[in-house]
């Protein structure tokens, strides 16, 4: 889920700063006439529209399907048709008559070749959620960060001042969100001071310093520079204000994710649990995640309740040493993820290649067999013509034309199949090499 991915990015930067099926698909709508047509059938077959390849022009490749092919083939009936042939036709005209009787339908095989996609599909989503990642088409994600600017954020932890470390972490987190995600920044507790006399001013303070929109580094940095540690912690008021921000950001294809970065609990008398429950139960499709920054045990328990009410998660950011250990473990996890990613995409490429090659080989084999069958049948009927008194000079010419047609059909089937299979192999090899090279590069960078 995206909110887990985004949470991981934010917590991490806080830590750092701190075959055959293809052929069937093509032939499903229209089977070979040799499988469908029967002698008794009076139905007209819907023929697949195809463009005649350059290699097959001049041989009337679309003459079929003939009347007697497949299950309808009957030697006696074809001979009866031959007996009715005129005696004074040219060889080309006799061949046309044979085509109307026993020519096969090559359209499905030509169509599969012409439409065949040899391009390897893109490797799947990469581990880690880099900014180059894309959201699903039509999906909109709005991320709002609620930044605690109360006076306690001026405190120090291992590595520096909490406020400065948190700002740097938020900046890195926002820059690493996937493309298409909108980001907004709301700050609270940034006015007045943490004195009792200033409590009223401070508890009312919650302002948007970066309106919802794409991440723009310079503008976002200016927004972060607008506030400093100041007053109390009006967390409930800030969640309520965030609900108003997101009220217009709703719909089936919209997801809203809130991240609260805080070092403590509500101090203004509000009820952040109730506000979180109300927001997560609204029609804005919102969840609330809490990043606890140097929070004591009591504070953690309170913030966890807010996250649970907001149907989100609570993540704890602790000492620098613990963060480094976590990050080292996360690096090892990412290295393993890249290994899995490589293996998954390489295996998928081999599977895709095998399926495509199988489909092409099957298409080639069937087309070659049909061309051989058609040529042999016409050749045998020219011999029958001779037995019925036709001059051998005309039957020899018919056989010559018939042979030329058969050779062209078989050459086309074989040569096109070979070329397409070569393209498939080369494209899938490129895909596998790309996956291997990228995964190796990412693993090496993680090990640095």
Pairing of strands 314-317, 206-213: unpaired
How far apart CA 56 and CA 409 sit, in angstroms, is 7
Which is nearest to 84 in space by CA: 67, 71, 97, 75?
97
Computed over every residue of the chain, the mean pLDDT equals 84
Q: What is the pLDDT of residues 369-397, one digit of tens each?
A: 999 999 999 999 999 999 999 999 999 99
Q: Does residue 398 have a pLDDT over 50?
A: yes
pLDDT at 37: 41
Query: 205 pLDDT band (50/70/90 cuts)?
Result: very high
Model's pTM, two decimal places?
Answer: 0.55
How far apart CA 202 and CA 151 sit, in angstroms, is 10
* Four-point Cα dihedral 61, 67, 68, 69, nearest 10: 40
Q: What is the pLDDT of residues 217-258, one digit of tens each?
A: 899 999 988 899 999 999 999 999 988 888 777 767 788 889
Q: Does residue 43 have a pLDDT over 90?
A: no
Helix or strand (DSSP H, E) at 442: helix 392-447
The more confidently predicted of residues 138 and 78 is 78
**Domains of the chain and any CATH numbers:** 20-118+357-429 (no CATH), 125-318 (3.40.50.410)
Query: 21 pLDDT band (50/70/90 cuts)?
Result: very low
Which is nearest to 109 in space by CA: 42, 22, 23?
23
Q: What is the pLDDT of residues 258-317, one digit of tens each?
A: 989 888 889 999 999 999 999 888 877 788 988 887 888 888 899 999 999 999 888 877
Q: What is the pLDDT of residues 142-194, one digit of tens each?
A: 889 999 999 988 888 877 788 888 887 777 777 766 667 889 999 999 999 98
Provide DSSP, 117-134: --PPPPP-PPTT--TT-B
* CA atoms within a 13 Å half-sphere pointing along the CA-CB vector of 29: 10
Which is nearest to 217 in space by CA: 164, 187, 176, 255?
176
How far apart CA 408 and CA 376 sit, in angstroms, is 15
DSSP helix/strand/coil, 213: strand
How far apart CA 320 and CA 323 sit, in angstroms, is 5
How far apart CA 330 and CA 325 sit, in angstroms, is 9
CA 204 to chain centroid, in Å, comes to: 46
């Amino acid at each position: 889920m995206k909110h887990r991915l985004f949470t991981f990015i934010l917590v991490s930067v806080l830590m750092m700063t701190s075959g055959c099926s293809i052929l069937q698909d093509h032939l499903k709508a229209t089977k070979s006439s040799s499988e469908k047509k029967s002698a008794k059938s009076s139905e007209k077959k819907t023929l697949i529209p195809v463009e005649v390849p350059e290699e097959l022009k001049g041989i009337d490749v679309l003459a079929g399907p003939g009347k007697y092919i497949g299950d309808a083939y009957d030697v006696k009936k074809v001979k009866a048709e031959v007996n009715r042939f005129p005696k004074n036709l040219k060889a080309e005209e006799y061949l046309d008559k044979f085509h109307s009787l026993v020519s096969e339908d090559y359209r499905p095989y030509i169509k599969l070749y012409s439409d065949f996609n040899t391009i390897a599909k893109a490797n799947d989503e990469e581990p880690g959620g880099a900014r180059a990642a894309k959201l699903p088409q039509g999906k909109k994600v709005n991320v709002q960060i609620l930044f605690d600017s109360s006076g306690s954020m001026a405190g120090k932890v291992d590595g520096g001042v909490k406020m400065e470390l948190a700002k740097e972490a938020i900046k890195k987190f926002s820059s690493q969100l996937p493309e298409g995600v909108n980001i907004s920044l709301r700050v609270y507790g940034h006015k007045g001071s943490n004195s009792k006399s200033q409590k009223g001013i401070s508890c009312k303070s919650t302002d948007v310093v970066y309106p919802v929109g794409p991440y723009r580094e310079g503008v976002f940095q200016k927004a972060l520079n607008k506030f400093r540690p100041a007053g109390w912690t009006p967390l409930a008021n800030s969640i309520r204000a965030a609900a108003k921000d997101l009220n217009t950001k709703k719909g089936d294809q919209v997801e809203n994710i809130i991240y609260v970065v805080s070092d403590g609990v509500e101090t203004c008398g509000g009820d952040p649990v109730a506000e979180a429950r109300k927001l997560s139960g609204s029609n804005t499709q919102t969840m609330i995640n809490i990043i606890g920054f140097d929070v004591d045990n009591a504070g953690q328990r309170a913030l966890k309740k807010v996250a649970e009410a907001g149907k989100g998660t609570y993540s704890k950011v602790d000492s620098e040493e613990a963060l480094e250990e976590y990050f080292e473990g996360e690096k090892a996890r990412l290295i393993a993820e890249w290994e899995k990613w490589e293996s998954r995409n390489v295996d998928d490429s081999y599977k895709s290649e095998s399926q495509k090659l199988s489909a092409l080989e099957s298409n080639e084999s069937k087309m070659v067999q049909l061309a051989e069958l058609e040529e042999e049948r016409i050749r045998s009927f020219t011999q029958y013509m001779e037995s019925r008194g036709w001059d051998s000079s005309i039957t020899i010419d018919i056989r010559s034309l018939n042979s030329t047609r058969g050779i062209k059909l078989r050459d086309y089937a074989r040569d096109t199949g070979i070329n397409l299979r070569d393209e498939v192999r080369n494209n899938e090899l490129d895909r596998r090499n790309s996956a291997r090279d990228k995964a190796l590069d990412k693993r090496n960078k993680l090990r640095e």
